[in-house]
Chain A
């Protein structure tokens, strides 16, 4: 028989972390759960409503529209930012002073706060005085992001691409830099074309960082709030009202705490589900 020493005192060591996590994650989440199953009145009066709010949100056309816009937005920016990021990373210099210059230039947009980005683009794109807006109108486009749905979308997407492509670039660049020079020499000796080098060496070697870049951009794009809020306020009409903007309108505009809480839980589950699906798909690809 093996005599194992059992010492339960170690649990006490974990307590501080548990308290911390409880305060910043579990307790707020539980309050949301609390609101989502009850009708809330002033003076903290609560009435049990069960899954009523969830059903209401799931049936609401407004929620469907916001979710649809959100999915379209995420799809668009992933389709643009990931290939563009990989492309830029591939053309960045591998040594010399150019590396530092490129890295600083790439990191700059990432350092700018969200609301500043929104305000910057707002002014930049104003059709009468903004550089971009004036220029587009000058070359004959009827550009006005506050009135035209297409231009509002184009501006929001362009803004996100400008703000976040750098993240994909930096991650991919790090992945590329970790490939030993011998791989490039070997492919050169074999006479491989640059497409073959990309397809069979660089892409497989970048796979892990690309997974991370995709997941980060997926989650972040689902959380987008500040930039469209500052730029268009969700308009024109509801055309750039993404999930988070809609949620704030329900929760703080209309003060419908029950539906808002139910909506945030569904919102959270959607993000979680998407990330899980994407991660599983990419990991399965790796093992096969």
Chain B
């Protein structure tokens, strides 16, 4: 009872859009597909929907191989970035359209349409045309069409991208709840780590056409298996530092020497240390602290938070701190990170587990 990909891949004109993927998405839950633009989210969704055929491998839904089944014979719904509605139909007719195609009678479909419209707060606009609605209402209409269909699989391809901030927040909150009762498997694509965390459920991270990790959202966030996942799941970007493990400890560029107590037993070799922007502090607050330094390039202030962009050696870092901080460009700052908050990746970019 799930959506499975077996040895799935997709090439277009010799270009790899989806590298060989084995993945099993959990049924009846909210699955987030997280990755930067061009990481293959939409390509993968098109394969899920059957809009494209995979080059190799197969797609299984509820234990059935659905690879060759045309899209109109699968019970699925999709919502896009653009607000896709029938331009010359009223909101009511738009929501009713999937049911009309299923040849339901007027008396059968009316209560279903009205119930969904109620849920999506569209009741007052039933007789309007999509062009007479706000962007948020247009997208609500598109969502209502997906919801009314009672699809087993609902694909949401960055549906909130074209909405303004307020509407996005509002709909983001409602979305998981809307589909929770339907028992449908929902796949939601987004580029924003923040959004994935708010949606909860499960997350699959994508990078360069491959799914790097899949699991409960918070687990993927806290324990990324590799550097690519950690990078995909960090906004502002993950700070990194190249280190070399020697007899004495960890050594970096410019004569940097660090002690990383949780990682004292790793073998000699090349490593990448990752630390998230909100773990990079500009004030020391205790023991077990790594001391770094950097030169301020830009400071961004958003209300009560500051994003301090820094440069050290060849690395660009961001420190995310509370409060309003003003630093002139070029100012040198002492920086602090707790080693227990650090992620260490080996030369294969795989996560090295900390010894607790």
| A binding-site residues for B, Cβ under 8 Å | 180, 182-183, 185-186, 188-192, 196, 200-201, 204-205
Partner of B87, one of A188, A190, A204: A204
Q: Which residues of B contact A183 (CB under 8 A)?
A: 84
Answer whether residue B348 sits at the interface, using C-beta atoms and an 8 A cutoff.
Answer: no
Given contacts A186-B78, A189-B72, A191-B101, 7 further A-B contacts (CB under 8 A): A183-B84, A185-B80, A196-B101, A200-B87, A201-B87, A204-B88, A205-B87
A191 touching B84, Cβ below 8 Å: no
B88 touching A190, Cβ below 8 Å: no
B87 touching A186, Cβ below 8 Å: no
9 A-B contacts, Cβ less than 8 Å apart? A182-B81, A185-B46, A186-B78, A188-B51, A188-B72, A189-B71, A189-B76, A189-B78, A190-B97
Nearest Cβ distance between residue A128 and chain B, in whole angstroms? 53
Answer whether residue B89 sits at the interface, using C-beta atoms and an 8 A cutoff.
Answer: yes
Overall SS of chain A's interface: helix
B88 touching A200, Cβ below 8 Å: yes
Answer whether residue B179 sits at the interface, using C-beta atoms and an 8 A cutoff.
Answer: no
Answer whether residue B125 sits at the interface, using C-beta atoms and an 8 A cutoff.
Answer: no
Nearest Cβ distance between residue A184 and chain B, in whole angstroms? 10
Nearest Cβ distance between residue A211 and chain B, in whole angstroms? 14
CA distance A188 to B49 in the complex (A): 10
CA distance A182 to B84 in the complex (A): 7
| B binding-site residues for A, Cβ under 8 Å | 46, 49, 51, 71-73, 76-78, 80-82, 84, 86-89, 97-98, 101, 145, 149
Nearest-neighbor residue (CB-CB) of A200 within chain B:
B86
Nearest-neighbor residue (CB-CB) of A183 within chain B:
B84
B89 touching A200, Cβ below 8 Å: yes
B87 touching A192, Cβ below 8 Å: no
Partner of B84, one of A186, A192, A196, A204: A186
Overall SS of chain B's interface: mixed
Q: Which residues of A contact B51 (CB under 8 A)?
A: 185, 188-189
B101 touching A192, Cβ below 8 Å: yes
Nearest Cβ distance between residue B53 and chain A, in whole angstroms? 14
Nearest Cβ distance between residue A199 and chain B, in whole angstroms? 9
B72 touching A190, Cβ below 8 Å: yes
Nearest Cβ distance between residue B321 and chain A, in whole angstroms? 41
CA distance A185 to B71 in the complex (A): 9
CA distance A247 to B122 in the complex (A): 60
Partner of B86, one of A182, A185, A189, A201: A201
Q: Which residues of A contact B97 (CB under 8 A)?
A: 190
Q: Which residues of A contact B89 (CB under 8 A)?
A: 200
A182 touching B77, Cβ below 8 Å: no
Partner of B49, one of A189, A191, A192, A205: A189
Partner of B80, one of A182, A196, A204, A205: A182
Nearest-neighbor residue (CB-CB) of A205 within chain B:
B87
User: Would you list the 3 A-B pairs with minimal beta carbon distance, nearest first?
Assistant: A191-B72, A204-B88, A182-B80
CA distance A192 to B72 in the complex (A): 8
CA distance A189 to B75 in the complex (A): 8
CA distance A67 to B78 in the complex (A): 55
Q: Which residues of B contact A191 (CB under 8 A)?
A: 72-73, 101
Q: Which residues of A contact B87 (CB under 8 A)?
A: 200-201, 204-205
CA distance A205 to B81 in the complex (A): 19
Nearest-neighbor residue (CB-CB) of B77 within chain A:
A189
B80 touching A190, Cβ below 8 Å: no
Nearest Cβ distance between residue A172 and chain B, in whole angstroms? 16
Residue from A188, A189, A205 with most neighbouring chain B CB atoms (10 Å): A189
Nearest-neighbor residue (CB-CB) of A285 within chain B:
B88
CA distance A196 to B97 in the complex (A): 11
Q: Which residues of A contact B86 (CB under 8 A)?
A: 200-201, 204
Q: Which residues of B contact A186 (CB under 8 A)?
A: 78, 80, 84
Q: Which residues of B contact A205 (CB under 8 A)?
A: 87
Nearest-neighbor residue (CB-CB) of A180 within chain B:
B82
Q: Which residues of A contact B84 (CB under 8 A)?
A: 180, 182-183, 186
Q: Which residues of A contact B77 (CB under 8 A)?
A: 189
CA distance A192 to B51 in the complex (A): 14
CA distance A205 to B72 in the complex (A): 23
CA distance A204 to B72 in the complex (A): 23
CA distance A191 to B100 in the complex (A): 11
Nearest-neighbor residue (CB-CB) of A196 within chain B:
B101
CA distance A196 to B86 in the complex (A): 10
CA distance A207 to B149 in the complex (A): 29
Nearest-neighbor residue (CB-CB) of B131 within chain A:
A286
Q: Which residues of B contact A189 (CB under 8 A)?
A: 49, 51, 71-72, 76-78
CA distance A183 to B97 in the complex (A): 14
Q: Which residues of A contact B82 (CB under 8 A)?
A: 180, 182
Q: Which residues of B contact A201 (CB under 8 A)?
A: 86-87
Partner of B98, one of A185, A190, A200, A204: A190
Nearest Cβ distance between residue A10 and chain B, in whole angstroms? 37
Nearest Cβ distance between residue B261 and chain A, in whole angstroms? 52
Q: Which residues of A contact B78 (CB under 8 A)?
A: 185-186, 189
CA distance A185 to B52 in the complex (A): 10
Residue from B72, B73, B149 with most neighbouring chain A CB atoms (10 Å): B72
Q: Which residues of B contact A190 (CB under 8 A)?
A: 72, 97-98, 101, 145, 149
Q: Which residues of A contact B149 (CB under 8 A)?
A: 190
